[in-house]
Amino acid sequence: MSRKTKAILLLVALIAGISSFLYLSSHLILLKSFSQLEQDYTSENVRRALNSIADDIRQIDTITSDYAGWDEAYAFIDNGNKTFSRSNLDDAIFPKLRLNILVYVRNSGAIVFAKAFDLRTGTESPLPPSLVKQLTANSPLVRHTSSDSVLSGALLLPEGPLLLVSRPVLTSSYQGPIHGSLIMGRFLGTDEIRRLADLNHLNLSILPLNAARQSSKSATILPPLSATRPIAVIPGSGETITGYGLINDIHGKPALIARVDMRRKIYSQGVDAVQYFLFCFLGFCLISSLTGYILYAKLLASRKERKDTEKRYRSVISQASDIILLVDIDSRRILEANLAFQRLLNYAPDKATQLTLYDIMEDDRSGVDWRINRILSEKVCFLGEHTVRAEDGSMVEVDLNANLVSYGEQQVICMVLRDISERKRFEGELMHMAHHDALTGLPNRTLFFDRLRQGLYKKERSGKMLAVIYLDLDRFKIINDTLGHHTGDMLLKEVADRLRGVVRKADTISRLGGDEFTIIIDEIATPADSLLVAEKILHVFSAPFRLEKHEMFITASMGVTLYPNDGDTAEKLLKNADTAMYHAKEEGRNTYQFFSEEMNSRVSERLSMETGLRHALARNEFLLHYQPRVNTTTGRIVGVEALIRWQQPQKGLILPDAFIPLAEETGLIIPIGEWVLRNTCTQARAWQEAGFAQMRISVNISCRQFTHDNLPDTIRGILRETGLQPSCLELEITESVIMLNPERAISLLNELKEMGISIAIDDFGTGYSSLSLLKRLPADILKIDKSFVSGIPGNKSDETLVATIINLGHNMGLGLVAEGVERQEQLHFLEERNCQEVQGYYFSKPLPAETLQPLLKNGTYPAAAGRQQPTDARDI
């Protein structure tokens, strides 16, 4: 017998043995699994049927709970009111709720109301006598011992099984005592069973447990069923499988059996699948045998296949995007190079094998030899980033990996060079983003400190000077808040462009954040050199900034520090420049200041005041004084102006001029201003309740308050909280605040005016006065500033200005109030020109509320002729 014949017989025997094993194992394992899967599926369908019945019982329970927990039902149990039954228990509810039985019964067993309904015919039917017999005083259906008691389940009656729920009748808040019960039920008849079967798409039947016990067909089913195992599945002898499930009665005991019959589709499919598998396996074995025979012949061609594979690898390497070189260890000559070498370094195809590593590596010969020796010693090596030389002499940055490979009978070096030029470009961009401001393109804080430290290191060695300018835009936040962040960003970019045009290339402009910029002026001979730069900046800022449809004038405050005079570290120079800048702001803005040690003490004092100011509200250190406003004709007090004071524990009483600018700058003016408004309105309401005549109370609104988004809502809430009428409140706004954004100011003032609040233009004539704007403002009063009143009579310019403002107010129908009246001659001048109201030390300095109260009670001032001016008008 030949080897070929033996191999074929062995293969046939092997296939026959495997097929027999698979046939037996599939019947013992796979079909058993399919059978178990079918039983599980049947069991799940039985469970679905039982869940549907349980859902019906829960639905009936929900309905019973609604009708039992009801004040009217609770009274109905006691009085049997027919109105309740006619209104709420008519025939219409039975088909709507799918109920057959509804009974209200007292604890004694006396039936208050009972109705049975045939859902098939839609007519009332007699109440089952068997159910009536169970409605006795001792019956569980009637005897409920607690308000949360509930009895639900199946009830077997001669008329058929009934799904029934019994609950105690309670009040709407589910409180007792319990006087009776409500019983609702639904017969589990043929129609109801069919509905459940259709709902679950099942072949469902339900029969009483006793009837099942008497049936010989079900005798084998009942033993496995129990309270702990309420579901059982019995495979049929034919094409069906049957599942059974227990349904408990109202006492929790089995009463009914639900039966679900199903076709054995899963098991049949399992049998088919096993047969298909065996046929497929036999086919597979035949094909495998044929394939094995063919493979024997193909083994002879394996040598040729290996050569083809090598050729394919060479093709892949040739088309790779990375440069791949094979290099002779001794001569460093390039033996082979792929197309990427030509593409990236622009060498001719035949030029590669004429080159050595010395020709293309940027390193000198010793450096190249050191790298080759490292490759030889470490076998596999990543040599990091390097630079190689292209044909045209340009340099290309690469990542270099190298290791030893076999090349014929010798070992050579395989080098892989990956072009990282693009990555380097991205890294450069990321580095630029990390050290430059995204909005303006200027160096950021990190790069500023780096360059400043470098500059300090160089100046320390050379002994030359260096200057740092700290620049902050004046009132930028107001512009940003009123015109929007987009306009603010455009302004910052325009500022950066103007600063670039001022300094030299060797100098550094940076944006620290917000509206803060710094300038490093490198190598100055004298402090005057930095002064020239500051003057140039003030000059370029004097031109208007045109941003889309807006034109505005922006100023800057600058602080200047010099190295080594004002500090020997970057941090100290910047800190002192910041101090000098704040000093420039205190000097009126739009200027620059050189740092001096005196400023440090002033800054410390300012920080101390700011800290105290932040705690003043919480410590209740603010006070309100009130200065009366007098009618020049009647001498009556017609209003008061509220003025804030700060009772500082260490420094005593501080006037607003000393802390309001700081509060405005730090943003604390918002809560302080709200405190002033709330307490002023509270005091005005208290005076009204004390019986004083209604009068107008005036409150100054700061620039920061006026530009805040929710000013109208804040005022509206305070008026509602204090109960003060809006007509009793007057708000004073200066012209300079309005001119920041006239259109928004007019809109905001109109909103306040519509609330019933009076508007006064404070310090009229001291700023940029626009008559065209004045006529558009919803103003009620013009206030003549004290600076004009102080010069009358006697100063012709002041007399003319005051008379002009009075005439302007009369012609525009506005009220007039003159501030700072301190002498009788001033009062006579204003009376002669019909200025309706005045206020000042001639009448009274600002007083606390309790001191002012007697004046308000009197209501008028005596004749002004004998009145004396206070000895010191500033003594308040």
| Each residue's pLDDT tens digit, 621-666 | 999 999 999 999 888 999 999 999 999 888 899 999 888 888 887 8
Does 54 or 302 have the greater pLDDT score?
54
Indicate whether 682 pLDDT > 50.
yes
Q: What is the mean pLDDT of residues 405-420?
A: 85
Looking at the chain, the number of H-run helices and the number of E-run strands are 31, 32
Pairing state of beta strands 323-327 and 334-337?
Answer: antiparallel
Q: What is the mean pLDDT of residues 167-179?
A: 90
pLDDT band at 335 (very low <50, low <70, confident <90, very high): confident
Q: What is the mean pLDDT of residues 12-41?
A: 70
For residue 709, the model assigns a pLDDT of: 76
Does 280 or 444 have the greater pLDDT score?
444
pLDDT band at 308 (very low <50, low <70, confident <90, very high): low
pLDDT band at 396 (very low <50, low <70, confident <90, very high): confident
Q: What is the mean pLDDT of residues 284-311?
A: 68
For residue 410, the model assigns a pLDDT of: 86
Least confident of 333-347, 756-770, 862-876: 862-876
pLDDT band at 244 (very low <50, low <70, confident <90, very high): confident
Indicate whether 675 pLDDT > 60.
yes
Residue ranges of the alpha helices (H) in 71-158? 71-79, 82-88, 93-97, 129-133
Least confident of 252-261, 264-273, 331-340, 367-376: 264-273
Does 528 or 572 have the greater pLDDT score?
572
For residue 870, the model assigns a pLDDT of: 44
For residue 875, the model assigns a pLDDT of: 34
Residue recorded with tokens 């550094």 = 508
SS3 state of residue 520: strand
For residue 539, the model assigns a pLDDT of: 92
Percentage of the residues of the chain whose pLDDT score is greater than 70: 87
For residue 310, the model assigns a pLDDT of: 60
For residue 874, the model assigns a pLDDT of: 36
Q: What is the mean pLDDT of residues 821-842?
A: 94
Q: What is the distance between the alpha carbons of residues 640 and 695, in angstroms, rounded to a whole number?
A: 8
Q: What is the distance between the alpha carbons of residues 351 and 353, in angstroms, rounded to a whole number?
A: 6
Indicate whether 688 pLDDT > 50.
yes
Q: What is the mean pLDDT of residues 374-392?
A: 78
pLDDT band at 213 (very low <50, low <70, confident <90, very high): low
DSSP state of 719: H
For residue 286, the model assigns a pLDDT of: 76
- Amino acid type, 269: Q
CA angle 658, 662, 665 (to 5 degrees): 150
Nearest to 334 by CA among 361, 364, 363, 306: 361
Least confident of 21-30, 179-188, 443-452, 543-552: 21-30
Does 802 or 214 have the greater pLDDT score?
802
Same fold, 436-595 and 624-784+815-821+835-860: no
| Average pLDDT of the chain to the nearest whole number | 84
Q: What is the distance between the alpha carbons of residues 850 and 683, in angstroms, rounded to a whole number?
A: 10
Tens of pLDDT, residue by residue over 859-872, are 777 544 334 444 33
197-203 contact pairs (CB < 8 A, 24+)? 197/49, 199/52, 200/45, 200/48, 200/49, 200/52, 202/45, 202/48, 202/49, 202/260, 202/262, 203/260, 203/261, 203/262
Asked if CATH classification 3.30.70.3340 holds for the domain at 317-424, the reply, yes or no, is no
Q: Are 188 and 154 in contact (CB under 8 A)?
A: yes
Would you say how long the chain is, in residues? 876
Written as six digits, the tokens of 177 are: 């005592």
Indicate whether 485 pLDDT > 50.
yes
For residue 862, the model assigns a pLDDT of: 57
Tens of pLDDT, residue by residue over 696-736, are 999 999 888 888 878 999 999 999 999 999 999 999 998 87
pLDDT band at 597 (very low <50, low <70, confident <90, very high): low
Q: Which fold has domain 29-188?
A: Beta-Lactamase (3.30.450)
DSSP string of 194-251, one letter each residue: HHHHHHHT-EEEEEEHHHHHH-TTTTTTTTT--SS--EEEEE-SSSEEEEEEEEEBTT
364-373, 471-480, 753-762: which is most confident:
753-762
Residue 821: C-alpha distances to residues 707, 734, 762, 790, 828 (Å) = 31, 20, 15, 7, 10
* Domains of the chain, residue spans: 29-188, 203-267, 317-424, 436-595, 624-784+815-821+835-860
Does 344 or 540 have the greater pLDDT score?
540
Tens of pLDDT, residue by residue over 95-131, are 999 999 999 999 988 999 999 999 999 899 999 999 9
pLDDT band at 235 (very low <50, low <70, confident <90, very high): confident
Architecture field, domain 624-784+815-821+835-860: Alpha-Beta Barrel (3.20)
C-alpha 798 chain-centroid distance: 58
Nearest to 705 by CA among 478, 486, 480, 485: 478
Does 872 or 426 have the greater pLDDT score?
426
For residue 5, the model assigns a pLDDT of: 65
93: left (phi over 0), alpha (psi -120 to 50) or beta: alpha
For residue 872, the model assigns a pLDDT of: 39
Residue recorded with tokens 């990543």 = 382
Q: Which fold has domain 436-595?
A: Alpha-Beta Plaits (3.30.70)
Query: How many other CB atoms sit within 10 Å of the CB of residue 453?
Result: 13
- Residue 675's φ and ψ, nearest 5 degrees, are -60, -45
Q: Are 76 and 177 in contact (CB under 8 A)?
A: no
Q: What is the mean pLDDT of residues 663-689?
A: 91
